[in-house]
Structure 1
Amino acid sequence: MSKVNLKNRKIAKIFLGVVIIVITLAFFPSFLLNDALLNSSTGTLNEHFEKESTSNIFTEIKMGDLQVPIIKDGIYDKYRSNPPLSFVKEQKPNLDLSWFITLEKERKDVGFVTYSPNFYYSNSSITAIYTADMDTISKLIPSSVKEIVKPISFSPGIGLIAITSYAYHYCDNGSYNELSISIVTTTPRAKNFGLISLVGELNNKSLWGYVLKLPVDTELARVRGVLGYNLPKWLIPIKYELDNNNMSFSYYNEEGIFDFSMVGKRLDVKKSETSISRLNFINVDIQGRLTHGYSDVRAIKKASSTSGEDIQLNLSNGPISKFIKSLKIKKLVRYDYQPEFQAALYTPNFLTNE
């Protein structure tokens, strides 16, 4: 055999080895993950939301062109997103307000007068980050947004979806519950290096995403979110529950029929350390302009897991369930249990694509 042929065969072997390494590195992350726990809840399709009785008296205020019901003499009725911290301390004496003392509010006109940031004094949440079909989620992002950010590529053909259930126990708007379904994206105008991009955002404690769905269970939260933050909010019944083992949220359609539930295991949070991170979102306003908003989150008690058994989605044939199924979720990347956190939500600013 000639020396030339031997040399060519060595080159071919080296090339093949490099290809194998590249393919392994590309797909290996998915091999390490647990399957997402998605259950069928056909047995609860006839479950209806039962509204809890309340002694609250409501009044109406005007926001933009809308009449919005709010709790009479509640925190929002009295202070319109700008309550003195002394009032909050009086109402909730056990809350730590030291972080909020360091933040300054600014008067904003966003179709109604508000004060930014909006303070969230006591809250709980569970978050699941899943792998999802890249082609599917890419089509859900407007082209103008994709000029600024890109869905992070976890592995070839695979992107990331974050599903979060929030219980805002006490905030400038009173209290309400919320569901967030978002695509995890790169930072603006950054190269998409997949896991490297994701790790970079985690290290910088500044995550970026495009919000797909954001239903809430009060009209005040809906109107403020749509008019003031350009967010895809609508009104549905939501039930928050906490027992000895789990934190759970049940979501219903607009007629009050069960849609899906998200159930997260209560993890050990004894080793929690207080930390602050930023959640950024880019959306498009009603006039087609790009906007950037963000929420600074102060985690007080938090724990994470990668076990697929720790977080589950119980899906029906309801509208949100069908949407989640369409994302082709496969693997759980991370589950975050956050029984106690605080947040400051800032109104969006316009963003250019230059």
Structure 2
Amino acid sequence: MDRLFTQVEFGPHKVDVPAGGYYDRFRMNPDLDEVARDPAAGNIDFFRRIPKQMVASRIGPTWAPNFYYRTSQVQLLFLAPLSRLRAMLPMPLEPLRAFPGYGLVALTFFSYAVCDNDPYDEVSVAVVIRRPGARGSHALELRNAMRRRHFFAHVLALPVSTEIARVRGVYGYQLPKWRAAIDVNIGADVRAQIARPDGAPDLTLSAPLPRLREVAPQSHMGTNTMINMVDGKWHQATVQTNTLSFAQRLFPRDVKLMRHGGALSQLLDGLGVKKIVRLDVVKDAQVVLNLPTPL
């Protein structure tokens, strides 16, 4: 084995992780005082108010929730025909209607620079859905979701760049994860891409960097709730985000997303996405990922 990696047990699975990295040292239960001394982690006071607990999971007892100390992301929010979305969603999930005949699909490139299970990148394709049990006006529900910054979604694809992220997602959450080469760069401009298994491009994204807004910690909190089946039963997993630096543009015209025919390109084609409603760029954020709980 490469001396830069060490093998650890994750439930019944054996996975190579960076030697001396966060997972190797802390096994998901970090000493926050030690993390605070890592310049790459930044200020971690947000996490001190969220106690970790040893909880049962599909892969055995594990510490939860999962902490992501330094993250960034680029998201495109698309309009897609409701007929296509309904065909892709398992019953009884229902797409949230944004305009007559159209719902919303989010394509998100994530980069996790410092986290409990070591750095990795991830790409998500998710359909924005109605809150389970919701009735009445779609417009009112969408307005409330935007005001509260709390959306519900069903994830259709979630490729990742490391094996421990894949194993945790597949066996811990039963999410549609696979290994892929992913690159996310937010610099003078915004660039992101994901490759097919043969190394050829699947999706490539580029856009000018919008003017970023810096905000005080915990002043711009958001929550996303993933709804998916785990062992044949509906579960929800919440993701809390403490955004620190971000930008948002409605109906951007200078975003270039090239589809090269890979799995995610085909998925977006199948969903019928065309019009970009919003571009979100998050330069710096802190994230807490909770384990799935039964609905």
- TM-score normalised by the chain length of structure 1: 0.78
- 1:227 aligns with one of 157, 162, 171: 171
SS of residue in 2 equivalent to 1:166: strand
Q: Deviations over 1:87-110 (max 9, x none)?
A: 211222661111111111111231
CA distance in 2 between partners of 1:253 and 1:261 (Å): 11
1:120 equivalent to 2:68? Answer yes
Bigger fraction of residues in helix:
1
CA distance in 1 between partners of 2:124 and 2:31 (Å): 29
Which residue in the other structure is 1:281 paired with?
226
- 1:86 aligns with one of 23, 27, 33: 33
- CA 1:312–1:197 in 2, change beyond 3 Å: closer, same or farther? farther
Q: Deviations over 1:196-234 (max 9, x none)?
A: 221111112211110111000000001111121221111
Which residue in the other structure is 2:200 paired with?
257
1:72 CA drift (Å): 1.5
1:247 CA drift (Å): 2.0
Higher relative contact order (CA 8 A, sep 6+): 1
CA distance in 1 between partners of 2:265 and 2:88 (Å): 17
Q: Is the 8 A contact 1:265 1:337 kept in 2?
A: no
CA distance in 2 between partners of 1:192 and 1:162 (Å): 23
Q: Is the 8 A contact 1:150 1:192 kept in 2?
A: no
CA distance in 1 between partners of 2:51 and 2:41 (Å): 22
CA distance in 2 between partners of 1:56 and 1:306 (Å): 47
Any runs of at least 4 consecutive aligned residues in structure 1 with deviations exceeding 4 A, and if so which? none
Runs (5+) with no aligned partner, structure 1: 1-54
Which residue in the other structure is 1:42 paired with?
none
1:269 equivalent to 2:217? Answer no
SS of residue in 2 equivalent to 1:139: helix
Q: Is the 8 A contact 1:126 1:264 kept in 2?
A: no
Which residue in the other structure is 2:289 paired with?
345
1:339 CA drift (Å): 0.4
CA distance in 1 between partners of 2:256 and 2:45 (Å): 35
Amino acid across the alignment from 1:256: G
Which residue in the other structure is 2:269 paired with?
325
1:248 CA drift (Å): 1.5
Amino acid across the alignment from 2:28: S
Which residue in the other structure is 1:242 paired with?
186
CA distance in 1 between partners of 2:168 and 2:5 (Å): 17
CA distance in 2 between partners of 1:62 and 1:164 (Å): 30
Which residue in the other structure is 2:127 paired with?
183
1:239 CA drift (Å): 1.7
After superposing the two structures, state which structure 1 stretch, 214-223 or 224-233, moved more.
224-233
Q: Is the 8 A contact 2:17 2:23 kept in 1?
A: yes
Runs (5+) with no aligned partner, structure 2: none
Once the two structures are superposed, the pairs formed by residues 1-354 of structure 1 within 5 Å of their partners are: 57-92=4-39, 95-110=42-57, 111-143=59-91, 146=92, 149-191=93-135, 193-244=137-188, 246-270=189-213, 272=215, 274-285=219-230, 287-351=231-295
- TM-score normalised by the chain length of structure 2: 0.93
RMSD: 1.8
Q: Is the 8 A contact 2:151 2:224 kept in 1?
A: yes
Q: Is the 8 A contact 1:296 1:343 kept in 2?
A: yes
SS of residue in 1 equivalent to 2:206: strand
1:264 CA drift (Å): 3.7
Amino acid across the alignment from 2:4: I
CA distance in 2 between partners of 1:173 and 1:334 (Å): 30
Amino acid across the alignment from 2:229: V
After superposing the two structures, state which structure 1 stretch, 311-320 or 174-183, moved more.
311-320
SS of residue in 1 equivalent to 2:37: helix
